[in-house]
Amino acid sequence: MIRKFINEDEHNWDHWLDPLLFAVREVPQVSTGFSPFELLFGRRPRGVLDLINESWEDGPSPAKNEIQYVLDLRAKLHTLGRLSRENLLQAQQRQQCLYDRGARFRQFSPGDKVLVLLPTSSSKLLAKWQGPFVVTRRVGDVDYEVARSDRGGATQIYHLNLLKLWREVETASLVSLVKERDELGPEVPNSIIPTSLPCDDHLTQAQRADVVALQQRFADEFDILHFDWLCLTGLTDKMRADFSIMKDLSTHTRLTPEQREGRLNRFITNIQRNADAQAELDKWGLSFDNQLLNLAGRVLPVERIYQRSRSYDYNPWAADWAKEMRGLAVISAPPLNNWLLFHTRRNSNEASSLLQNLSRVSGPLGITMGKPVVVVLPNNRKDRYDSVKKFLCVDRPTPSQCVVARTLSRPQALMTIATKIALQMACKMGGELWSVEIPLKQLMIVGIDCYHDTAAGKRSIGALVASLNQSMSRWFSKCVLQHKGQEIMDELKKTLSAALKEYLRFNGCLPSRIIVYRDGVGDGQLHSVVNYEVQQIMDSIKSMGQDYNPKLSVVVVRKRISSRFFAHINGKVSNPPPGTIIDAEVTRPEWYDFYIVSQAVRSGSVSPTHYNVVYDTSGLKPDHMQRLTYKLCHMYYNWQGIIRVPAPCQYAHKLAFLVGQSIRKEPNMKLDDQLFYL
């Protein structure tokens, strides 16, 4: 029963003994019909609520002298003992009938190989089948003596229920290695069983056994298994959590620009040398150039970052300013008073270290600690995180910050971690960390994104985030639940109207210019965005008054693209510097589109972002639209650097992801003006 109370860490079972014993002692047992407490003391356990209920309904109990009380107690204990024995006998008979229905006679002979159900080395509360071991002799009706080969042949007696016969699986296979997938060659008849799996070195013993079982189960359905079908695909969760595996894998998947260019050139050369490939291309009138396309791009100037006491430039190639802002006060931070820290008892040391470092770093940042709830989780179990977020985002709207205890177990990085946590807590309360210069006045920036959960019955989430102030540091957030797989937002008019009303309340006027960045739609959905979502935006604007006619731009943002750009710098092929603009030669002539490489990457090739202006009455020049888009990539408060998309797009993605993954309900409206989802 203790196993039901322990979590993944099986070493904390002793913490649960007191509540477990309390529950066992006070709850009536199915077998006896009474609780152990009542059988021992002759009365039911009475808590505070029981005492209050009795005094309210029954009044004071009649007085008894000591002799009468003892006589009554003895009689009651005698009655309880008799009734419990009768109930126990009936329960035993019922259990015997149920067990006998599925029971079958089993016996072992000396020399039989068996598996034994033994506790694991990691926890005595967990057991698994181990062996095989050899039965030496039978001891009584249900006990057998078994020789443990893992203990030098020492013998031990086990009950029949802890033993099961071990069956040695014969080596078999229906696998044949062939050179061509489409020409499998001669079939292997079912009656012919090869003695071993060809080229099966990459299969474990369990996987080989699975192949044999598959062959035996479906022998009538097919005569041959192609060897390629045995290749394992994808990554398991254990592999993804292994840092060494992922690091080794990245050397093959994250190609440097020089490696990627070399592979593309070899690919083109191989196609041009292949007669069959050339014949197929000629049918379509297609051909490949001998080299990659050379084109001219532009690099935008470095943006200046503004904080409360000073402004500064950052390293343009690194594209982050974590070092520059160290020790500088943020623009504004509400006082974080009355804040709570929840943690498990075993994580008390990590929690104390977090408190000390938060108080140490918050002063230079200009943050006074206060109102959000900080939850230190013992691990990253999703169900626990979901419960915390759902309670604090829906039932009791409170900005919260969850921290995994393992993150706090590295003393050398604790100051950096505490700084990031303090910044997150500040901006979740409505703080403003930094800003860049935005020359356009009365401007509202809107980001829209959708999240889709592939699990059955899960609904899609549409999220909208809109700016409220000139510096793009305060945001209004709203999300809606949609049908499964739906990308186009049905309630865009409603959510944008709410954002416009909040902008009016915050500034005393409506925006004269609105720019919407729509993320998550492909080329095939552009017509739906223009014909359906843009119309909803126009209807939302009209709902604010007949005389209200702001300038409007709608930009579709695409991250998942196949285009890659390389820069030739000092004779070497490298990634383009952050701020690179490409708006010619590779863009569509019928579109108003451009590419921006805004972020920097430490390994591999950088991926550009494609922007397509599908609706525009702003009158802005393309250069101004590109410059504004790049500026907004600096304003994501969860990263002290430039990100791949404008900040409102990333905020909308974070909101939709949190609601779709954890909350699955619309957040409480009291959190609409806070970045609670970072």
Q: What is the pLDDT of residue 62?
A: 66
User: For residues 230 and 209, what is the distance between their CA atoms, to the nearest angstrom?
Assistant: 12
Task: Examine the residue annotation and report whether 50 is marked as an active-site residue of this protein.
Answer: no
**Distance from chain centroid for Cα 604:** 24
CA distances from 162 to 115, 129, 158, 229, 443 (A): 8, 9, 6, 37, 73
Q: What confidence tier does 176 reach under pLDDT thresholds 50, 70, 90?
A: very low
Contact (CB, 8 A) for 329 and 368: no
Characterize the bridge pairing of strands 298-299 and 580-582.
Answer: antiparallel
User: For residues 675 and 401, what is the distance between their CA atoms, to the nearest angstrom?
Assistant: 11
The average confidence (pLDDT) of the chain is 82
Catalytic one among 38, 350, 502, 519?
519
The residue among 257 and 239 whose pLDDT is bigger is 257
Task: Examine the residue annotation and report whether 653 is marked as an active-site residue of this protein.
Answer: yes
Domains of the chain: 2-96 (no CATH), 113-165 (2.30.30), 175-230 (no CATH), 333-428 (3.40.50.2300), 443-671 (3.30.420.10)
| Percent of the chain residues past pLDDT 70, beyond the cut | 83
pLDDT at position 619 over 80: yes
* Most distant CA atoms of the chain, gap in Å: 112
Highest-confidence segment of 102-116, 342-356, 449-463, 651-665: 651-665
Task: Examine the residue annotation and report whether 252 is marked as an active-site residue of this protein.
Answer: no
Encode pLDDT of 77-135 as tens digits. 888 888 888 888 888 888 888 777 777 778 898 989 999 988 876 666 677 888 889 99
pLDDT at position 348 over 70: yes
As a 3-state breakdown, the chain gives helix, strand, coil percent values, each rounded to 5, of: 40, 20, 40
Q: What is the pLDDT of residue 191?
A: 44
308 CB burial (10 A radius; 0-12, 13-18, 19+) = middle
Q: What is the pLDDT of residue 466?
A: 95
User: For residues 399 and 677, what is the distance between their CA atoms, to the nearest angstrom?
Assistant: 8
pTM for this prediction: 0.66
Q: What is the pLDDT of residue 635?
A: 94
Q: What is the rounded average pLDDT of the residues 294-321?
A: 90
Encode pLDDT of 49-58 as tens digits. 666 666 665 5
For residue 62, is the peptide bond before it cis, meaning its omega torsion is within 30 degrees of 0? no
Q: What is the pLDDT of residue 505?
A: 93
Highest-confidence segment of 7-21, 315-329, 337-351, 435-449: 435-449
pLDDT at position 178 over 60: no
Q: What is the pLDDT of residue 210?
A: 75
Task: Examine the residue annotation and report whether 519 is marked as an active-site residue of this protein.
Answer: yes
Q: At what angle do helices 257-273 and 275-284 cross, to 10 degrees?
A: 90
User: For residues 107 and 324, what is the distance between their CA atoms, to the nearest angstrom?
Assistant: 76
Q: How far apart are the first and last CA of the chain?
A: 39
Q: What is the pLDDT of residue 631?
A: 95
Amino acid at site 605: S
Q: Residue 431, SS3?
A: coil
pLDDT at position 264 over 70: yes
Q: What is the rounded average pLDDT of the residues 458-484?
A: 88
Q: What is the pLDDT of residue 459?
A: 75
Catalytic one among 145, 242, 487, 583?
487
CA distances from 174 to 177, 188, 194 (A): 10, 7, 7
Catalytic one among 261, 303, 350, 449?
449
Q: Name which of 73-87, 184-198, 540-554 the model is least confident about.
A: 184-198
Q: Residue 130, SS3?
A: strand
| Percent of the chain residues past pLDDT 90, beyond the cut | 27
